[in-house]
A and B are shown apart, each in its own frame.
Chain A
Amino acid sequence: MKNRLEELRGKNGWSQQELADRVEVTRQTIISLEKGRYNPSLTLAFRLARLFQMTIEDLFLYSSEDDHE
């Protein structure tokens, strides 16, 4: 699933480690999320959305192709 994490992280001037610390995951998880290799749990999606003060739909871009992942 595509997302805007890298863009929003860059706007806030945070490193991957800083973002990871803020949502209490590892840096590796942030890397995987940004590359779209890993889809987060609902809890993590909410934590990320709240951190960037937006809705999950604005942060994660769902398309019907994602059903096959």
Chain B
Amino acid sequence: MNNRTQWIAARVRWGWILLVAGVIVAGVGFLLERAYASLPYNLRIITGLGILMAGVGISYLVRYTAALKDEQSARRLSAEERDERTVLIRTRAGNRAYWASALMIYCGLMWASFAANGGLPDLSGDTLWYFLAACVLVPFGVYIASLLIDQRNF
């Protein structure tokens, strides 16, 4: 088994692990929802996490299982995923997204600190929700924009 095949086989293994773990987590979440319906927590988050894991696992299996059987597609897939220019572009995008995320969280932390001292108004539940949603979406947007820009620059 050559290095490339080993790399693809490892991806297929991860696909199975994620699928099985996802089914288990989703199943546990579903059972907990039924058994402890009166709890003030929304246990659907566990079911959702399980479904997400299973979905990622299935996508890995679909993408890499076919490549295990066909040398040419294994070569292409391996080149696409491990290509050093692609890795560089993703790394730069990840770095920028990290700084965007850190900046937003720092601003939120400062707001919360000033609000605690009465220097700024408290964030209402709705505003906090929008702020947290932005903390997820803005770094993601920075990541995508950085990918697109660096695809042209490099």
| Chain A contact residues, CB within 8 Å of chain B | 20-21, 24-26, 28-29, 32, 37-38, 40-41, 43-44
Number of A-B contacts (CB under 8 A): 35
Q: Are A29 and B75 in contact (CB under 8 A)?
A: no
CA distance A21 to B75 in the complex (A): 8
A16: min CB distance to chain B, Å: 13
CA distance A54 to B22 in the complex (A): 51
A28: min CB distance to chain B, Å: 7
- Which residues of B from 23 to 57 have beta carbons under 8 Å from A? none
B84: min CB distance to chain A, Å: 5
B82, B84, B85 — most chain A CB neighbours (10 Å)? B85
B66: min CB distance to chain A, Å: 18
CA distance A8 to B31 in the complex (A): 64
Cβ-defined partner of A37 (8 Å) among B75, B84, B154: B154
User: Interface digits, B64-86 against A, CB 8 Å rule (1 contact, 0 not)?
Assistant: 00000000000110111011111
A32 and B79 contact, Cβ closer than 8 Å, known pairs A37-B153, A37-B154, A38-B154: no
Of chain A, the residue at the smallest CB distance from B80 is: A26
CA distance A38 to B79 in the complex (A): 17
